[in-house]
Chain A
Amino acid sequence: MAVAKKEQELIVTVSPHIRNDETVSRIMWTVSLSLLPAFVFGVYFFGPRAVYVTALCIVGAFFSEWLVQKMTGKEITLNDGSAFLTGLLLGMNLPSSAPFYIPLVSSFVAVAITKQLFGGLGYNIFNPALIGRAFALITWPRAMTTWFEPTAAFVGLDAKTTATPLAILKEGGMQKIIEIFGDKMSLYTDLLIGHRAGSLGETSVIALLIGGAFLIYKKYITWHIPISFLATVALMAWIFGGREGFFTGDPVLHLLSGGLILGAFFMATDYVTCPSTRTGQIIFGIGCGLLTILIRLKAGYPEGVMFAILLMNCFSPLIDRNMKSKVFGLAKEAQQ
């Protein structure tokens, strides 16, 4: 096929580069595969609607990609998997209660406006799936914060709506959340497995960690962004998160809830929109962590991962420019 031949080779670090046979499409499909465990857990907890919402996102993403490439006379690159991945990520970031137009419109915003209008794959400033979600959250705030209770699916129960742990934390504090989940241990277990309200793919921490570990093992992402992101959130949550004063917050709760794990491993590490130097990536991760905690604790929204990553996306080029690696063999002045 002509498509296979034309696939771009991927360069993700500063030079010198080692060439290998990795292609954009192989990476895209592998990342999609690594999201599968979390998606399966989402379907288990939220039922057929999770499949329905995600499928609409993927269809919308494919259609938008095809439409813009057709209109602009570019080569149609549906098989490179990037539209699929964007659709899948967007779907996993939406509540399972979302009515049909939310996945369709936000996937169009994600792929057509955020990616294709900026020049296509590799030229977008912001993470497409997150812009799609941000658009949906601002446009339909009510529908986007209506969460179905995770009724282990397929038992034929009517879906009840409830609040996410972070929303409960913001409203009622730590006591309230322990009241709802029983004791601290069962709270952590529930969060780890994903038995809680939230976006359909963000809840199961354990499944997301399996996917993230797989990506690190395959060397598709490095530890720098996720670890610095998570460590910053944990530290800041511990210092500032408590209501009784400094150092009384619950870092574990903050780590396990919201879209933090999904964001840290799968969204913040997007090659196109994160810095490419190692130091830059650590700065990027710390920035994401600080903004996340700032939004979670002080702003109007209960969750801040999405806006934190989007804001740090703006800084990626700036970080990269100031983190140029040293040119080997040149005198110090010549490097300036």
Chain B
Amino acid sequence: MSHQHQEKVSYWAIVKNGIIKENTIFRLVISLCPAIAVTNSVKNGFLLGAAVVFVQAMVNSTVALLRNFIHPRIRIPIFMLIISGWVTVVDMLMAAYARAAYKEIGLYIQIIVAFASILARAEVFASKNKVGASFFDGLGSGLGFLVALVTISFFRELLGKGTLIGFTIVPVKPMLIMILPAGGFLVTGLLMGFFNWIDMRFYGGKGAGGAGGH
């Protein structure tokens, strides 16, 4: 779809687009590294996802606000400065108010700077659209990332530890491989295939990568 939403496209449609049609993990297949690194428990997946929602929405708004003042030739460094500014905000907030969680996923919070998804949305959407639309695009894209992380970590924690958000659900012997990186690849790949299958079976799509765009 076109990324020029000058008018008439509702904000809800933009959010939905970010969550489903251009889902960072399952459709665009970018930012897979954090998706596999932190998803061995639902809590960590959710926290990183929430941080990304915030950063993505704020970065998109800021880029959209400044889009007419950024020279196209140096736009990528400027975007990176904006991104690292907002990531620093999240990083410091978490370090101050969520010590326990920060100890576990602090490293990945700082690495949000390098997430392909953040820069991608700033480049393809926020640099061409108004502030409102850009904010909701960031929100939708971030929520898509959040949903993907929670889905992956749901299966990995359930199969790998037999727990969900720390509570024991399955008392049988868990499958250790699922909380190891190999399990992350397995679950992500199988889920991606499943969503592609749904897309092809019920919505007549071609599956991720099949469209060849983005």
Contacts of B186 in A (CB 8 A): 113
- For the complex, is B74 an interface residue (Cβ under 8 Å from A)? no
Contacts of A113 in B (CB 8 A): 186
Give the CA-CA distance A135 to B180 in the complex, in Å: 11
In the complex, residue of chain B having the shortest beta-carbon distance to the beta carbon of A143: B173
Give the CA-CA distance A30 to B83 in the complex, in Å: 62
Give the CA-CA distance A141 to B186 in the complex, in Å: 19
Contacts of A139 in B (CB 8 A): 175-178
> Interface majority SS on A: helix, strand, loop or mixed?
helix
Interchain nearest-CB distance for A7 vs B (Å): 28
Indicate if the CB atoms of B173 and A138 lie closer than 8 Å: no
In the complex, residue of chain A having the shortest beta-carbon distance to the beta carbon of B178: A139
Q: Mark B180-197, 1 if CB is under 8 A from A, else 0.
A: 101000100000010000
Contacts of A135 in B (CB 8 A): 177
Contacts of A141 in B (CB 8 A): 176
Contacts of B178 in A (CB 8 A): 139
Interchain nearest-CB distance for A213 vs B (Å): 37
Number of interface residues of A (CB under 8 A): 9
Contacts of A105 in B (CB 8 A): 175
Give the CA-CA distance A304 to B193 in the complex, in Å: 32
Q: Mark A103-115, 1 if CB is under 8 A from B, else 0.
A: 0010000000100
Contacts of A117 in B (CB 8 A): 193
Give the CA-CA distance A138 to B186 in the complex, in Å: 14
B residues 162-214 with Cβ under 8 Å of A? Answer: 173, 175-178, 180, 182, 186, 193
Contact of B182 among A138, A140, A143 (CB under 8 A): A138
Indicate if the CB atoms of A140 and B173 lie closer than 8 Å: yes
In the complex, residue of chain B having the shortest beta-carbon distance to the beta carbon of A141: B176
In the complex, residue of chain A having the shortest beta-carbon distance to the beta carbon of B182: A138
Contacts of A140 in B (CB 8 A): 173, 175-176
B residues 40-75 with Cβ under 8 Å of A? Answer: none
Give the CA-CA distance A139 to B180 in the complex, in Å: 9
Give the CA-CA distance A326 to B186 in the complex, in Å: 40
Interchain nearest-CB distance for A297 vs B (Å): 25
In the complex, residue of chain B having the shortest beta-carbon distance to the beta carbon of A102: B173
Give the CA-CA distance A117 to B186 in the complex, in Å: 11
Interchain nearest-CB distance for B183 vs A (Å): 9
Interchain nearest-CB distance for A237 vs B (Å): 29
Give the CA-CA distance A143 to B178 in the complex, in Å: 17
A residues 68-102 with Cβ under 8 Å of B? Answer: none
Q: Which residues of A contact B (CB under 8 A)?
A: 105, 113, 117, 135, 138-141, 143
A-B contact pairs, 17 of them (CB 8 A): A105-B175, A113-B186, A117-B193, A135-B177, A138-B176, A138-B177, A138-B180, A138-B182, A139-B175, A139-B176, A139-B177, A139-B178, A140-B173, A140-B175, A140-B176, A141-B176, A143-B173
Known contacts A140-B173, A141-B176, then 13 further A-B pairs from the complex at CB < 8 Å, ordered by chain A residue: A105-B175, A113-B186, A117-B193, A135-B177, A138-B176, A138-B180, A138-B182, A139-B175, A139-B176, A139-B177, A139-B178, A140-B175, A140-B176
User: Closest 3 A-B residue pairs measured CB to CB?
Assistant: A139-B177, A139-B175, A138-B177
